Amino acid sequence: MTRYSMVLRGAALASALLITGCTAGSGGGSASSGDKVTLTFLTFETPNLDAKYWDAAIARASAKVPGVKIKKLVSPSADRTGYAKQLDSTGQFPDVMIGLNPAGFAESGKLAPWTDKELATYENPHANTYGGKVYQLPYAAQTTLVYYNKKDFAAAGIATPPRTYAELLDASAKLKKKGINPFVVGGGGKDSWADMFPLICTVATDVYKKTPDWLSQRGKGKVKFTDEAFVTAAQKVADLAGKGYVDRAGLSRSYADTEQAFRDGKGAMYPMGSWFSASADAKKPSFDTGVFAWPTDQGAPALPGVLGGGMTVSSKASDVPLAKKWAKAFMEDQKNLDAGVKADGLIIDIKGYTAPDNMGPVYKDTVKAYREAQKGEGIVNSFSQETGDGSLPPGMADKAAAGMQKLLSGRMTAKEFGAYMDEQWDKATR
């Protein structure tokens, strides 16, 4: 489950929109249907979260909230935020949305804030605030880890996962010497967001670990992307590619093809979001998959995490209280939560929730790594995935991904990448 992607052409809006029982031109906003209020619900589909998954979840929530009829809107890509912007520009802003990045929408009053009473069931109710208000239900955490091929590690004589960055480089060298590609990284076409994971990890270890509010400081002009800390993080990624530890020929792969490349044994390590754990358990590769956190220089934990991802409600919905009630019913339903855990490897952050006992080993190892980092105060922000105050300006995540393609391919140096990011920041905040 991701929040990135390409900007879609407005001309494709009507033809690309899928709505249960209707088309985009049928109104888009809330309307009454007999004794029911019709609400549009914007979601997305992935190989993990397909139409069957969403339809079942919608039905469960609707059964708990009489008087609501849901029209499902499906984003043509994983970028439901970009799609919501397009719908908003044509007067079709959805009533309820899941996984939306609230930035911009919250500040302009387009979203209804959640009250403390409505957030009482959440472990971290005030995660991702905008001006002190919460606009997205903080129901689940996701993190970025390194998934690795245990067979490849054994073949290269690597007994245990690396615990320091020096050990990561040593492991990469041993793998390459054995003729094994160390890292699988992709991000071609509309899936440029997928190339960000190595940088997400190095910014976590080299920037956010030392300065947790670094991006807020960037907003105040106290730091820049051309400063040593960020350039060092970018340089680590550039060096991995420059040493041949990242297969540059694979950078053009789509997200799905990149995952398949790892499954097919075309690389030993796969830096990726924790949602991969569900895929690895549901359809086990021909090898055992291990998990470790991208290591810092000294070995202290610095795991990039995102908490949120839940429902947002339009402030202009025809019945905001009913829309909120349905959104909470969807988000807090036990079967819906279990389905999200099984399909997308979610780490649920709702009080009293326990994951199903039959979850697979990769998911369990993923959760273990996350919880261990939590205990050691090792969870930091996830660069380009931040939400709430102190996040990237809207649109900059896509710019960062485009720059990463050049950094990884050797067409841009780390210093040039830092300058590029400062330039994009200035353009986005004028």
DSSP-assigned states of every residue in 167-191: HHHHHHHHHHHTT---B-----GGG
CATH superfamily of 142-306+365-429: Periplasmic binding protein-like II (3.40.190.10)
pLDDT digits (tens, 9 = 90+) for 103-134: 889 999 999 999 999 999 999 999 889 999 99
Give mean pLDDT, residues 164-174.
98
Give mean pLDDT, residues 307-332.
96
> What is the Cα–Cα distance from 383 to 136, expressed in whole angstroms?
19
Question: Do 10-139+309-358 and 142-306+365-429 come out as alike in CATH topology?
Answer: yes
Q: Are the C-beta atoms of residues 89 and 291 closer than 8 Å to each other? A: no
> What is the Cα–Cα distance from 89 to 304, expressed in whole angstroms?
33
Which of 190-204, 258-272, 382-396 has the least mean pLDDT? 382-396
With 0-12 CB in 10 A as exposed, 13-18 as middle and 19+ as buried, what is 265?
middle
Domain boundaries, the chain: 10-139+309-358, 142-306+365-429
Greater model confidence, 378 or 12: 378
Confidence of residue 370 (pLDDT cuts 50, 70, 90): very high
In 75-153, which ranges are E strands?
96-98, 129-130, 133-134, 138-149
pLDDT digits (tens, 9 = 90+) for 61-70: 999 999 999 9
Domain 10-139+309-358 has CATH 3.40.190.10: yes
Q: Which two three-digit tokens encode residue 289?
A: 């998959």
